[in-house]
A and B are shown apart, each in its own frame.
Chain A
Amino acid sequence: MKTPTPIVTRINGPIVTADGMGGAQMYEVVQVGELGLVGEVIRLVGERATIQVYEDTTMLKPGAAVRGTGAPLSVWLGPGLVGNIYDGIQRPLPVIQARSGAWIRRGEKVDPLDTTKRWAFEPLLATGAAVQPGQALGQVQETPLVRHKIMLPPDVAGTLHSIVAPGEYTLLDVLAVVETAAGPREVTMLQRWPVRQPRPIRERLRIAGPLITGQRIIDTLFPLGKGGAAAIAGGFGTGKTITQHQLAKWSDAEIILFIGCGERGNEMTEVLREFPELKDPHSGRPLMERTILIANTSNMPVAAREVSIYTGITLAEYYRDQGFHVAVFADSTSRWAETLRELAARLEEMPAEEGFPATLPTRLAQFYERGGAVTTLAGERASVSIVGAVSPPGGDFSEPVTQHTRRFIRCFWALDTELANARHYPSIHWLHSYSEYTEDVGAWWAQQAPDWSGLRTEVITLLQREDRLQQIVRLVGPDVLPEAQRLILFVAEIVKDGFLAQSAFDEKDAYCAPARQVALLRMILMLYRRGRDLIEAGVPLARIRALACVPHLLRAKAAFGNDELAGLAELEGRLQAELAALAQEAPPP
C-alpha cells in the first residue's frame, strides 16, 4: 500500500492542518505549498498534523503539498553570526534585501551563514589528543572583538584522529576527524542546534559580580548580576526600548543579543545605524563587532515572532559555551506571549487567564531558565544575562505576563508613566523596583568603592523617607514641616535630578562609569549629612539651598565625563568649603 502524500486540509491564518503526516515528528520543520513556506509541526494526532507557518499563508489552498525536512527547527552556529541581523527564523535580512529589495517576500530561502566565506582557522589541539564535548579545537577571529572558539559538538568525544593545519577554511570544510566510540566523526566550523532545546553545560554557578550597565539607577540601586535575569516593565513610551538600547550599548558583556520581538521596524534600523558608529567604552571598538540582532518586527509574521525568542537565546548559549559573558535583550516578551495566545486561540485550546494558554508560566520559566552563570562543558566560567521587556496593557502590572515573569526573574525595573510624562528618564521607579542581586554584586563593588553599600542604603532610605513626607506635603503643603524634614525633600530632589535622571542622549552622561557613579552619589549624600548637622546647629535651610555650588551639583553629571573625575573632586571641595563657611556662621547652640 502506498503511503498517502501529505497535503494541506485547512488554513486558518498561520495555522495549517495537514493529513497524511504519519511520518512526521513533533517540531519537525516542513515546507508548505508551492512557495515552500516554512512551518513547524506543533501537534500530531494520528495522520493529522497541525503546522504553525512562519510566513503569510495568503492564497495557500487545501490540497497543497507538505514536505517534511526530517529535522526540528534549528539554527546555524559558526563564525559570521556577530554583526549580523536575522529575522525570527534566522534568515539574514541583509541578504534578503540584496535579493529582493526593501520588502520581505514569501518563500525566501537563504542560508543563515555564508558558506563560501573563508575564515582563518588556528588549531589549538594536535592529532592524538583526547577530546571532550565542548572543547575548543581551534579558533577564528570573527571580529576584532570576538575570538570565536570552534568547539566540538556536545555529543562528540574521543581521540583526535586528524586536524587541519592553520589556514583559511569555509564553514563546510572538514577541520578535524574525531575517533569516537561510535566511529569517526567529522567536525566543521558549522554546527546546528534545535532552538527549543537548551545547550548543555557542566554546572550552574552562583552569580558573582554585576553586569555593569553604566546606568546609575540600575548599577547603584537595582543591580543586575552577570548571568542574572531582569524584567523591565512599563506602559507605552515609558522607556523600555531606550533603556534596553542603553544596556546593549554600554554594559560590560562580551556578546550582545538584541531580540526585537514584535516591536517597531525603525527601532531596529536605529540600532543598525548607531551601533557601527558607537564605541564600546571597554574596548574602544565599534559596538556592532560584538552584537547580533534578531528582528521580527510587529508587522512580520506572528508565528516567527514566537520562535524569535528561542533563536536568540540559542545563539546566546552558543557564545556562552565558548566562554563569553553574553547579554540577551528581548523587546518585548509581552508581544511574544501574545503570539502564544493568538496561536492557542487558533488551535482552539482552552484559555487560562485573559486568553493566555495555561502553559504561559512554563514557557516563561523555560525562557528565563536558559540564562545563568555556568561552568561550560569546556570548564570555563561564562554567563547569559537576560533582560526582558514587559509591556502590560494599560501599564497595569497585575496582568498575567508581568505577574508570571516576576516569578522567574530576580530583578525588576518598574517604569512609571508619571515619571516618564515629567520626562524624568530613565523612568525606573525607585520605590517600586527591586533587585535580589545586591548581595551577589556587593563584593565586586566593595573592591571599587568600600562605601558603595553604605551609600546605597543611605540613598534608598532617604528616598523612602521623602516619599512619606511627600504624602504629608500633598495634604498640607511643605511649610508645616520642620527644617530637618524639608532638607530631606531638598536633597531628594537633587538625588532625583542630579543622580537618578540620566539622559540616553547626553554624550557625556549616557554611560556613567562605576567610579563616577560613586563620586556623584558621595557628594550629594555629603551635602545631606553636613546639611543635617548645620540645621541642627540652627542654620536655616534657605542658606543651604542658596549655596553657590548647588546648581552645579545638579548639572555635575553632564558637566564632568568619566575621565573628568578631577573636576568632580574639585566641585566637591568647593561645596565642602561653602558648607564649612556656613558652619562658621552658625550661632552657638
Chain B
Amino acid sequence: MNFQVEDRGLQYTGAARIEGSLVFVERVRDVGYDELVEICDPAGHRRLGRVLDISDMHAVVQVLEGTTGLASGTLRARFLGESFRLPVSRDMLGRVFDGLGRPLDGGPPPLSGDRRDVNGLPINPVARRYPREFIQTGLSAIDGMNALVRGQKLPIFSGNGLPHDRVSAQIVRQARLLEEQVEFSMVFAGLGVKHDVAQYFIRNFEDSGARARVALFLSLADAPSVERLLTPRVALTVAEHLAFDCGQHVLVLITDMTNYCESLREVGTARGEIPGRKGYPGYLYSDLASLYERAGRIEGSPGSITQVAILTMPSDDISHPVPDLTGYITEGQIVLDRDLFQRGVYPPIAGLPSLSRLMKDGVGPGYTRDDHAPLASQLFACYAYVKRVRALAVVIGEEELSALDKLYLKFGEAFEQRFLNQGEYENRPVATTLDLGWDALALLPRDELHRVSAALLAQHYRQAHG
C-alpha cells in the first residue's frame, strides 16, 4: 500500500505523554480532526495513528499499531494532511492484507488511483433499494425459518466453542441466488481471531474454488488491538467499491465483532471516558451502526453488500451489550444454541430467538413458494409450544402429559433432528426444506395448525399420527 509520504506533512519530535494506545503531541499546527499520523520510533519503524482530539494546544493521537517501544523523548510524529484513505481496486480479490490494508501475501500493493476515506459516507435512505432477493444457503434453519436476502445484514450470535466458523463457512460455500447463477465475491475481515481460524476460512475458500474471489483482511489475535478498529472499515471500503462501483454482489464476513468492541472499550478507557454498560463506551451503538449500516443496495448500481458478522456472546448472554446493540442495528440475527449443540444438532441454530426481519419480503410467491411464510410462522408457533410442554414435562413427568402434548414432544424431536439437523456438506434446496417442515407438522393434528390457511393445509398437510 502506498504510504510514501516522506515529503508530506509536518514532522514533530517528542510527545508530552504516552498513555495506552494514545500519544499526546504538543504545539502542533495545521492538524485536522481524524487526520492520519505516522509515528516513527527510534529504530525508524513507522506506525500509523489518527487524531482523536485536536486543539490549538495539542493533538491526541491514537496509534493503531500500538505504542510498545515508543519513548516520549524520541518519537517523531508526522501529520499526513488527510484522514485514513485506502486505495481500492478490483484486483484486491484473491489477495491477503493486514488489518490496515497492506499486503501480507508478499504481492505488490494493488494499483489504484482511487483512494477512499475508510469511514465511508452515509447512504442517503432515499437512494437505498429495499433488499428482497432470496439467497438460498442450503441450511433449513436459515432458508426455512430465517431467510437471508441479498443486501441484508444478518449476524451470527454465537458462544465460545460453538461451531460458528463451520456454520458461516457452510453459508459461504453454499449461498446462491435462486433465479440466476450470479456468483458472490467476498470480503473477509478477521478481527482478533487466531491464525488457525483464519487458516480454516482460507482453506475453505480454496476447497470450494472461491479463493480468487475473496479479499482477506486479517488483524489477528497477535496484532495490536487498536488496529482492529480500522479493519472492518478497511474491509467495508473495499466491499463498497466492489459492490457499488464494480456492480458485484459482495458477501462480507466479519469475525469476531466481540473483539472489535473490546478494542473500542480499551481505547475509551485509555481516554478516561465515562463508561456505559459493562465498561463499553456510550457511543458503542453509533459506532457499530457506522459499520453495520454499510450494507444494502443502492439506486443506480446493480451490486449489493450482504453482511454476516459473527460475534461471541460472553457467557452466552444475549443481553450483553455487544449482541444487544448489534441486534438493535442489524436486520435480525442467527443465534446458536449451546443446548442444541450438546445434543448433537448441527447447525445448532436456535429455533426461537433467531429472526430474519427481511424474510417477509424475500419469500413467497414469485420468490420461493407461497406456503413459505405461513409454514415458517406455524413452525415457530408449534416449536414455541414444544418449549412450554418440555418445561412442564420436567415438572410433572412425560407420562403425565396429555395426549396432545405428547404429540408436540414428538413434533419437537422431529423438528430438531430432521428439519434443523443436517450435514455440514448437505446443501438442501429450499423446496426440500419446506417439505421437511410439512413432514414435521404432519405429526400434529390438523386443527392445531391455524397459522396456515385451509387451502395450504389441503395442499401440503399429510396426516401422520394415528
Contact = CB atoms under 8 A, between A and B. Distances in A.
B282 A103 contact: no
A58 B33 contact: yes
B182 interface: no
Nearest to B290: A299
Contacts of A476: 395-396
Interface in B144-182: none
B117 A58 contact: yes
B49 interface: no
Nearest to A96: B124
B130 A269 contact: yes
Interface of A: 9-13, 17, 56-63, 85, 93-94, 96-97, 101-105, 235-237, 260, 262, 264-266, 268-270, 272-273, 295, 297-300, 302, 335, 338, 341-342, 345, 351, 354-355, 391, 393-396, 421-424, 473-479, 497, 505, 550-551, 554-555, 558
9 contacts: A58-B32, A103-B127, A265-B122, A299-B123, A355-B274, A395-B319, A423-B381, A476-B395, A558-B453
Interface string B355-370: 1011010000000000
A551 B56 contact: no
B8 interface: no
Contacts of A11: 32-33, 53-55
A105 B127 CA distance: 13
A269 to B, nearest CB: 4
A329 to B, nearest CB: 16
A393 B122 contact: no
Contacts of B56: 9-10, 62-63
Given A270-B130, A298-B286, A97 B357 contact: no
A57 B33 contact: yes
A60 B396 contact: no
B457 to A, nearest CB: 10
Given A59-B34, A97-B127, A17 B283 contact: no
Given A61-B30, A423-B381, A85 B293 contact: no
A302 B325 CA distance: 16
B377 interface: yes
Nearest to B395: A475
B1 interface: no
Contacts of B324: 235-236, 393-394
Contact of A474 (B123, B289, B391, B400): B391
Contact of A262 (B30, B286, B384): B286
Contacts of A424: 381, 384
A308 B52 CA distance: 26
A102 B123 contact: yes
B122 A17 contact: no
A355 B282 contact: yes
B33 A59 contact: yes
B402 interface: yes
A57 B35 CA distance: 11
Given A104-B122, A297-B122, A338 B128 contact: no
A53 to B, nearest CB: 10
A494 to B, nearest CB: 10
Which 8 A-B pairs give the minimum distances between C-beta atoms? Answer: A394-B319, A422-B384, A298-B289, A10-B55, A236-B327, A59-B32, A299-B293, A102-B127
B279 to A, nearest CB: 11
B125 A295 contact: yes
B276 A265 contact: no
A477 B286 contact: no
Given A59-B35, A551-B450, A341 B282 contact: yes
A183 to B, nearest CB: 43
Contacts of B360: 505
A581 to B, nearest CB: 19
Contacts of B329: 264, 298
B285 interface: yes
B126 A479 contact: no
A583 to B, nearest CB: 23
Given A63-B30, A265-B125, A391-B328, A335 B290 contact: no
Most chain B Cβ neighbours within 10 Å, of A236, A272, A395, A478: A236
Contacts of A338: 282-283, 285-286
Interface string B191-234: 00000000000000000000000000000000000000000000
B45 interface: no
B123 A265 contact: yes
Nearest to A417: B353
A94 B123 contact: no
Nearest to B383: A422
Nearest to A425: B377
A297 B293 contact: yes
A59 B84 CA distance: 10
Nearest to B244: A102
Contacts of B289: 262, 297-299
A59 B282 contact: no
A391 to B, nearest CB: 6
A497 B286 contact: no
Given A85-B125, A266-B331, 9 more contacts: A17-B55, A60-B32, A103-B127, A262-B289, A266-B125, A268-B128, A269-B125, A342-B286, A423-B380
A11 to B, nearest CB: 4
A298 B352 contact: no
B345 interface: no
Contact of B377 (A56, A423, A554): A423
B53 A12 contact: yes
B458 interface: no
Contact of B300 (A101, A236, A335, A558): A101
Contact of A103 (B123, B129, B293): B123
Nearest to B285: A338
Most B-side CB within 10 Å, residue of A62, A270, A299: A299
A103 B124 contact: yes
A476 B377 CA distance: 29
A521 to B, nearest CB: 18
A95 to B, nearest CB: 9
Interface string B274-297: 111100001101100110011010
Contacts of B454: 555
A269 B128 contact: yes
A555 B450 contact: yes
A59 B286 contact: no
B126 A97 contact: yes
A237 B120 CA distance: 27
Contacts of B392: 473-474, 477
Contacts of B30: 61, 63
A67 to B, nearest CB: 19
B158 to A, nearest CB: 17
Nearest to A11: B33
B296 A265 contact: yes
B340 interface: no
Contact of A477 (B128, B130, B395): B395
Nearest to A356: B282
A236 to B, nearest CB: 4
A63 to B, nearest CB: 7
A391 B277 CA distance: 14
B402 A478 contact: yes
Contacts of B401: 477
Contacts of B99: none
